[in-house]
Chain A
Amino acid sequence: MTLSVTLSVNGVRRDVTLEDPRVTLLDLLRERLDLVGTKKGCDRGQCGACTVLVDGRRINSCLALAASYDGADIVTIEGLAKGDLLDPVQAAFIAHDGFQCGFCTPGQIMSAVGLINEGEAGDDPDRVREGMSGNLCRCGAHAGIVEAVLDAQKQLQQRRVA
C-alpha cells in the first residue's frame, strides 16, 4: 500500500510517496527526508525531543502519522534560521548556555518558538517553566533554557514595538 503526501517543509514543497502507512512524521523527516535535526527520544510523546511546528503550532512529531499531514506547513529546527542569521530563540539558547548535550535542544527551541507564538511565554519564569514542561532535559540545563526563552520573548517583543 503506497500513499502520496504533499507537505511544505521549511518552505520547500515535498512530494512524498509513503510505501508504508505506519510512517510517523518524525520518521519521515529523519529517515526519508534527511532532516535529522529533529530527535527521537521516546517515540511516545513523553519527552518532546521531536517537537516541530505544524501550521505554526508545536506538536510531537513522533505521535503524528505522516499520512495525515497532507498539505501541512511544517517547520523544523533546520528551517528556523534565515541563512546565517539565527532566530532570536536560537541565539538566546547559545547566550544563556541553554543546553549541554544538545539532544533535546531542537525540541526545546521549537517548543519555545511555539510557546512565544501562542502568546503564552510572558515575562514570568514560572509561566515559561509550565509552558516548557513537555520538553524533558536530562543534563539539567533548565535554568539556562528558561532564561533563554524569557530573553528571546523580550527581544521579540521589543522588535515588534520598534
Chain B
Amino acid sequence: MSDAITLPAPHVRLGSSSGQPVTRRDGHLKVTGAATYAADNHPAGMLYAVIAVSTIARGRVTSLDVEAAKAHPGVVEVITPANRPPLSLDPDEKVGLFGFRIDALQNDRVRYARQPIALVVAETLEAATEGARLLSPTYEVEPARVTFEDGEAYDPPAVGVGAPPNFAKGDIAAGHAAATHRVDTTYETPAQYHNAMEPHAMVAEWNGDHLTIDTPNQAIVMSRALFAGYFGIPPENVLLRSPFLGGGFGSKAIMNGPYILAILAARMMQRPVKMVLPRDQMFGPVGHRGATQQHLRLGMDAEGHLTALEHNAVATTSTFDDFIEPAANASHNLYASPAISTRHGGVRVDIGTPGPMRAPGEASGSAALECAIDEAALACGIDPLEFRLRNYSETDPASGKPFSAKALRECYAEGAKAFGWAGRPLSPRQMKDVQGRLVGWGMGSAMFPCPMFPATARATLRSDGTALVETAGADMGQGAWTALAQIAADGLGLDVERIEFRSGTSDLPDGGVAGGSGHTASAGTALHNAGTDAIARLAEIATADRKSPLFGAGNAGVEARDGRLYHRGDETRSESYADILARSGNASVEGNGTGARDPKDAEERAMFSHGAVFAEVKVDPDLGQVMVTRLVGAFAAGRIINPKLARSQLYGGMIWGVSFALHEEAVHDRRSGRIMNADLAGYHIPVHADIPDMQALLIHEDDPYVNVLGVKGVGEIGVTGTVGAIANAIWHATGVRVRRFPITLDKLILDPGMPA
C-alpha cells in the first residue's frame, strides 16, 4: 500500500503534524456518547414542535382540524398559513449563492408530497406528534407529475450552483463523422436522498431580538446571515452552534422550511423549541439528488482514440426552483477528445427541490460516462484500462489549460497492480468462482474539482506557549477538527497538543463551507496563514528587542519550530515564544489569515483530484444477486494532511459508489406522486454485509499551484469512478449491460441475455 507522505512544495514549511495519521481528536467524545448533536440540547422550559406534512403531491390544503389538535392534552399551539406571523424574507425568494425557495406556510399550496403544511407545538414530543396526526387535512387534489414523461421540460438557465448549462469544444459533427467505432447509449439515475444518520434538527431560543440556534450546519457563518434575514435581525444577533453534524452530504448546507418554522414557533411562544424531522420527512423539504437521463454518443478512430464525446443530460427539478444536477459536466475534464459537447435539460416535477448531494453532478455524470467509456473500449476491442490510457489528457480537455498536478497515470498503475487487473479477459462471462457464481472485473476513472471557498481564521499565541486557533468550520465526519488543528499547529510551529482549536459556532471567523471537498483547503489555508501572520508579529517583537538572541535577524531571518523562533543563519540563537512574549509585556499576539488561491494560478491552471477504482463482483446466475467482493481505489489528491482520516473519507465515498450502483432509489408512485419507500427499510443503503474488504491507496502528488498547502480534497472523489467500476464489473460477469441505476437483481434476471 502506498502510504508515503507527500513532501510539501518547497515554499511550504514542513511541520511535524501534517502528514501524520493523527487519531481523531474528538474520538473519545464520540465513543462515550458525550459528543453533543443539535437534538441533544434541552434548554429549560423547552417545547417540542412537530411538522405536519402533505400526503398529496400537488393541490391545495382545504381544511385542517386545528381544534382537534389543540384539544389534545399538552398541545399549546398550531401554526398554519392562517396564523403564521410574517417573515422578513419571502420564502419564495432565492437569497445568496446557495439560495433556495422554501416552504414555510406562506400559503395553502402543495407543491410536493411531504411538504410542511402546519406545525404543532406541545409540552411533550408525544403530544406534538399526536397533535400533528389529529389535523386530518383535506385537499383539493391536482394530478401529480413525478416522472420524466409527465413533467414539464424546459431549458435551464444554469445548472448546479450557477454553472452554464451547455458547453462545446471543436466540431462535434465532424468528430462523429470521422469515427470508425461508435457508441450511442442512454443511462438513467434515480432520485436519491441524502439521509444523513442524524435527521435535520433545530433547537431555537430567543432572548429579546437575539436568537440562539443549535442546528447541524455545513456553512455556519453564511447560514447565520440567512437565518437572521428571515427574522429581520442583524446577523450578529444570531448564535448558530454546530459542534458536531451527524452527517450532512450537502443537505445541511442549504436552508429549509422546517427550520424557519421551528424558530418562528420559539418566537411566538417565547420559549425554546426543539424540532427534529422524523425520518420520512427527510424525503421532501430538505433536498435530494435529482433523477437524470443521460444520452452519450462517443466516436473513436481505428486506434481507439476519441474523436467525439457528446454527453446530454436531462435532470428533474421541482416546479418552483431550479437546481439541475450538472451531470454532463463530468465529461469536460477527463478524457482527451478533439470535440466535446455537453448539454443539460430540465424537467419540472411535483417533487421537493433537489440540491447538492455528495459529488453533485460528478456522481451521476461519472456513473454514465464511465459505463459509456467501458462500452467504447469494447467497441474498439481494447482493454478498458488501455482505452483510458489512450485517451489520457495531458491538458484539461475543456479549457486546454495545464493541470496544476495530475497523477492519474500513477493511480491507474498502482490501482491495477494492487487489484491484479493484468490478464483480465476482454469478453464477459469468462470467470466463475467455486460456487458457480459469475465473476467480473470492472474499472472507472475518478475525478473531482478542487474549489476553495472564502474562509478566515484567527491564531493567538499565548504567553504560556500554547495557542488558540479559531475558525467557524464544520465537522460532519470528515475529521476537520483533527486535520485543521494539524494544519494550524504547523502554521504556528507548535505541537498539535499545544493547540486549542475552536470551531463550529457562528461567532468565530468565517470558516467557509464544508462542501465541494474544499473545506480542508479553504479553512486550512486560512488557519495556516493566520499562524504565519502571528509568527511574523512575534518575530517583529523578538528581532527588534535588544535583549533577544534574535535581535537584528529581521522578520524573514527567523524560523518557527517547536514553540521557538530560530535564527536562520545561526541555529544556536533561538528563543521560546513564551519568553519573547513575557519580556515584551504582551499577554498574547494575534494573527489573522484568509484562505484563498493565488488568482494567477487559479486563472492559468485546471485543478482536479484524480483516481482509479477497480471492482470485482460475483453474481448468482439464478437469483441475479450481486455481491461486490473486492474494491480497490487509488487516488491522487495533492498533499494528504492525515492519511488515516483521508483513507476513511475515500472509503466513505467508495461505499456511496456501491450504494449508488446497487441500492439507492426513491420510488415514486406515479398516481399519488408520493415516495413509497420513504424510510430506511425501503430506501436501501449498504449494510455491513454489503461492504467487502476495501483498499484506498494514497498516491503521491505534489501540487505547487492548488494552494499554499498543496491540499486538494478527498470527501467526494471516491463516489466517482466507483459506480462505473461496479456496473462495468457486473457487465463483465454477466454480459448484461444494465443502463438504469440501481442495478438490482430483477433487472439482471429479467434480461434475456442473462446466462442461466
Contact = CB atoms under 8 A, between A and B. Distances in A.
A58 interface: no
B30 interface: yes
Nearest to A42: B279
B279 A41 contact: yes
A77 B651 CA distance: 26
Contact of B37 (A34, A86, A103): A103
A53 B29 CA distance: 20
Interface stretch (A92-100, A116-124, A153-161): A92-100
Contact of B23 (A81, A95, A143): A95
Contacts of B694: 143
B42 A37 contact: no
A30 B124 CA distance: 12
B246 interface: yes
B431 to A, nearest CB: 21
A103 B680 contact: no
Contact of B124 (A20, A43, A46, A78): A20
Interface in B270-307: 276, 278-279
A139 B477 contact: yes
B680 A46 contact: yes
B679 A44 contact: yes
| Chain B interface size, under 10 / 10 to 19 / 20 to 34 / 35 or more | 35 or more
B27 A94 contact: yes
Given A86-B31, A101-B245, A101-B477, A43 B278 contact: yes
Contacts of A64: none
Interface string B661-697: 0000000000000000001110001111101011000
Nearest to B649: A100
A68 interface: no
Contact of B691 (A46, A135, A143): A143
B688 A101 contact: no
A61 interface: no
Nearest to A132: B688
Contact of A44 (B28, B653, B680): B680
A94 B689 contact: no
Contact of B656 (A47, A106, A135, A140): A140
Contacts of A38: 33
B195 interface: yes
A7 interface: no
B152 interface: no
Interface string A27-67: 10011001111111111101101000000000000000000
Nearest to A102: B30
Contacts of B198: 39, 41, 101, 103
Interface residues of A, number: 62
B253 to A, nearest CB: 15
B679 A133 contact: no
Contact of B246 (A39, A91, A94, A126): A39
A3 to B, nearest CB: 13
A76 to B, nearest CB: 7
Given A101-B477, A140-B654, A133 B197 contact: no
Interface string B361-380: 00000000000000000000
B24 interface: yes
Given A40-B39, A76-B33, A143-B691, A138 B196 contact: yes
Nearest to B681: A46
A59 B414 CA distance: 44
Most chain B CB atoms below 10 A, which of A23, A27, A128, A141: A141
A141 B197 CA distance: 12
Contact of B33 (A94, A106, A135): A106
Contacts of B687: 133-134, 136
Interface in B114-166: 124-127, 130
B747 interface: no
B691 A44 contact: no
A9 interface: no
Nearest to A98: B31
Given A101-B477, A104-B197, A142 B688 contact: yes
A141 B33 contact: no
B168 interface: no
B624 interface: no
Nearest to B658: A140
Contacts of A35: 33
Given A78-B34, A86-B31, A103-B37, 8 more contacts: A38-B33, A39-B198, A41-B199, A46-B679, A99-B30, A140-B651, A142-B691, A144-B651
26 contacts: A27-B125, A30-B40, A41-B680, A42-B679, A47-B279, A77-B32, A86-B28, A86-B31, A91-B31, A93-B27, A94-B28, A97-B644, A101-B246, A102-B30, A102-B246, A104-B197, A130-B689, A132-B688, A136-B685, A139-B247, A139-B652, A142-B655, A142-B691, A143-B694, A144-B648, A145-B688
